[in-house]
Amino acid sequence: MSAADTAAMVLAYPHRAGLPFIVAPAVAGLGFALLWPGFLWLGLAAAAVSAFFFRDPDRVVPQRPGLILAPADGRVVSIAFAAPPAELGLGDEPRTRVATFLSVLDVHVNRAPAAGRVRRIAYRPGAFFNAALDKASEANERNAIAIELPDGRTAAVVQIAGLIARRIVCEAREGETLRAGERIGLIRFGSRVDLYLPEGAAALVCVGQRMVAGETVVADLASSEPARTAEKI
């Protein structure tokens, strides 16, 4: 990534859901500056940190049919066979699940992994374990989205709250038709996003790999390439 690309990502305009977290400390710092000038700098610093966290850079989205893209930035912490969340009504047949952990330094805006119609959205309250742990998929608060693809198969994206995340924002709506890479929401302050691939699809990413939402190709429904393996060298 070039210096210009890095600057564009870091200085990207924030997602609208983050505006209250940016404006409030700035205004508070300005208001309390009369009591102590240092409050102004504390407020501006807090606003800058929030602006960084809620940054929402544009992405270059591959358009070839059949591609399943990363729904979130972050690091792949698990690739396993698991049944989709029961609340989505997709059955209990295991399919490939790719789990991505988002640190507080990652972009937290989530994106649609493929073009399709939102078949169902289901929220479930839960715990707030460390999102990097495998049990977070089942135990933590989550919001699950089932997307019906043009070929009739389904993919599922599950937004999972983490240890310090306490707010899941979902902007998708049931019945809505999404474009691949379209913004569908975000999770505040550290989280996890699970992607359940369509039936029969193999993951073309590996545990430990860095993901870029809307750009990294996770699977290719038009390819018979087997699941990938990797090693650190």
pLDDT (tens digit per residue) in 170-210: 999 999 999 999 999 998 776 899 999 999 999 999 999 99
In CATH terms, is domain 67-220 a member of 2.70.70.10?
Answer: yes
Angstrom CA distances, 171 to 23, 41, 55, stand at 22, 33, 16
Q: What's the pLDDT tens digit per position in 43-61?
A: 899 889 888 888 999 999 9
- Neighbour tally for 137: CB within 10 Å: 20
Q: Please state which of the ranges 36-50, 74-88, 122-136 shows the lowest mean pLDDT.
A: 122-136
- Which residues have a catalytic role annotated? 191
| Predicted local confidence at residue 199, as pLDDT | 93
Q: What is the mean pLDDT of residues 55-76?
A: 95
Q: How far apart are the first and last CA of the chain?
A: 21
Chain mean pLDDT for the chain: 89
Q: Which residue has the higher pLDDT, 223 or 94?
A: 94
Question: Which two structure tokens, joined as six digits, stand for 87?
Answer: 């609340």
